[in-house]
């Protein structure tokens, strides 16, 4: 969930939630199911108190309602149903404290506050793996941010950015960022020239004009390939739940990937889905090294997400794409795989940092 600054200003004060809250809560529900009866379950509960893991999984997105330009006030009250349980004075103060600490300590790149940049990376699809230093990576991108959270949960020093002040805050962030890392368009990015042709920022040099902002600058048109996209003056008010909301123009490709179909919503996590997650092969070694590997797999998934897509020439600040007829089915299969992996991996990290 991210957008260029210009779009953010046009659309103030609305914002969208990555994976949509449902995807994040599905990931956390899978993890919670896998952790039942383990020592980690009790440790998580001790840290989070009456915040269940699926609510923790949306905390970092709800914190985007804290406005640095309005003295860190919470400006989204009542707007996002999933955030409602976090809208108490104490919980708003906790979010504001995190945002204040992580507002200006980074190189701002298209976002108005640093903490919003911790939710993604933009590795070019031409790369075969995630490696810090590639175009679109930062020490505080979603991979580096997860590393920070895991270090804090391990009780080790975490001197970099973002600043994570406590195991509780680390857990709130981890539960969200693991989900973001598995949304393919939060890791892999296509870079396009003015003609809509793919370019390689690591080989040709990074030209900001070629950035597609995780697919937020790519609008999905209906079957009429040549139909010009309407100028964007507003975001769909319901965010990722209905990215194609009537009257708000074509959805962004990013939103297509944030949305999950009804059958992947958190209340659909059942024994069969948990069994599927249990079959995945756990990571080995130090958990701080796991997010890099997960990112490489998300990059593979992003390559599939963009496979065969043809883009229009740039029109103003965006390109357009017409999706093939079978695209949704392909996307849903990838989403299911990524949600399952994310749930399993969130559980593995928590088991590793809370062994007893
Ligand atoms: Zn996010």
Q: How far is the CA of 135 from the centre of ligand 1 (A)?
A: 20
Q: How far is the CA of 177 from the centre of ligand 1 (A)?
A: 6
- More confidently predicted of 264 and 6: 264
Global pTM reads 0.89
- Taking ligand 1, which is a single-atom ion, which protein residues have CB atoms under 5 Å away? 1, 18, 61, 119, 180
59-71 residue pLDDT tens: 999 999 999 999 9
Which residues, in sequence order, are bridge partners of residue 189?
124
Q: How far is the CA of 16 from the centre of ligand 1 (A)?
A: 9
- More confidently predicted of 241 and 64: 64
Q: How far is the CA of 118 from the centre of ligand 1 (A)?
A: 8
Q: What confidence score (pLDDT) does residue 271 get? A: 98
166-208 residue pLDDT tens: 999 999 999 999 999 999 999 999 999 999 999 999 999 999 9
Segment among 14-18, 270-274, 290-294 with least mean pLDDT: 14-18
| Residue pair 214/254 in contact by the 8 Å Cβ criterion | yes
What is the DSSP secondary structure assignment for residue 221, as one 8-state letter? Answer: E
User: Stretch 245-257: mean pLDDT, rounded?
Assistant: 78
Q: What confidence score (pLDDT) does residue 248 get? A: 62
Q: How far is the CA of 168 from the centre of ligand 1 (A)?
A: 18
User: Stretch 77-103: mean pLDDT, rounded?
Assistant: 97
What is the DSSP secondary structure assignment for residue 92, as one 8-state letter? Answer: H
Closest to 142 (Cα-Cα) out of 181, 107, 179: 181
Q: What confidence score (pLDDT) does residue 159 get? A: 93
Is CATH 1.10.575.10 correct for 5-353? yes
Q: How far is the CA of 71 from the centre of ligand 1 (A)?
A: 22
For the chain, the straight-line distance linking the first and the last C-alpha, in angstroms and rounded, comes to: 35
Q: How far is the CA of 176 from the centre of ligand 1 (A)?
A: 6
Residue 2: pLDDT band (50, 70, 90) is: low
User: Stretch 213-220: mean pLDDT, rounded?
Assistant: 96
Q: What confidence score (pLDDT) does residue 222 get? A: 73
Residue 224: pLDDT band (50, 70, 90) is: very low
């Amino acid at each position: 969930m991210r957008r260029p600054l210009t779009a953010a200003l046009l659309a103030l004060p609305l914002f969208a939630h990555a994976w949509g809250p449902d995807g994040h809560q599905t990931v956390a529900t899978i993890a919670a199911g896998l952790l039942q009866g383990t020592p980690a379950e009790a440790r998580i509960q001790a840290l989070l108190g009456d915040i269940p893991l699926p609510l923790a999984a949306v905390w970092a997105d709800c914190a985007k309602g804290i406005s640095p330009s309005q003295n860190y006030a919470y400006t989204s009250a009542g707007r996002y149903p999933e955030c409602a349980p976090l809208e108490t004075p104490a919980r708003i103060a906790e979010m504001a404290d995190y945002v204040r600490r992580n507002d200006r300590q980074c190189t701002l790149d298209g976002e108005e506050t640093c903490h919003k940049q911790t939710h993604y990376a933009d590795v070019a699809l031409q790369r075969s793996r995630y490696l810090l230093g590639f175009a679109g990576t930062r020490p505080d991108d979603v991979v580096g941010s997860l590393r920070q959270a895991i270090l804090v949960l391990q009780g080790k020093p975490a001197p970099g950015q973002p600043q994570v002040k406590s195991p509780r805050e680390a857990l709130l962030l981890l539960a969200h960022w693991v989900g973001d890392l598995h949304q393919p368009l939060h890791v892999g990015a296509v870079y396009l020239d003015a003609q809509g042709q793919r370019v390689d920022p690591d080989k040709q040099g990074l030209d900001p004009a070629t950035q597609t902002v995780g697919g937020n600058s790519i609008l999905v048109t209906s079957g009429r390939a040549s139909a010009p996209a309407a100028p964007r003056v507003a975001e769909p008010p319901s965010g990722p739940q209905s990215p194609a909301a009537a009257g708000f123009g074509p959805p962004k490709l990013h939103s297509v990937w944030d949305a999950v179909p009804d059958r992947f919503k958190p209340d659909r996590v059942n024994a069969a889905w948990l069994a599927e997650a249990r079959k995945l092969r756990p990571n080995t070694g130090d958990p701080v090294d796991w997010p890099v590997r997960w990112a490489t797999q998300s990059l593979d998934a992003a390559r599939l997400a963009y496979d065969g897509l043809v883009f229009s020439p740039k029109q103003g600040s965006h390109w357009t794409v017409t999706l093939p007829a079978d695209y949704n089915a392909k996307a849903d299969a990838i989403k299911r795989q990524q949600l399952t992996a994310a749930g399993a991996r969130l559980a593995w990290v928590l088991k590793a940092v809370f062994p007893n």
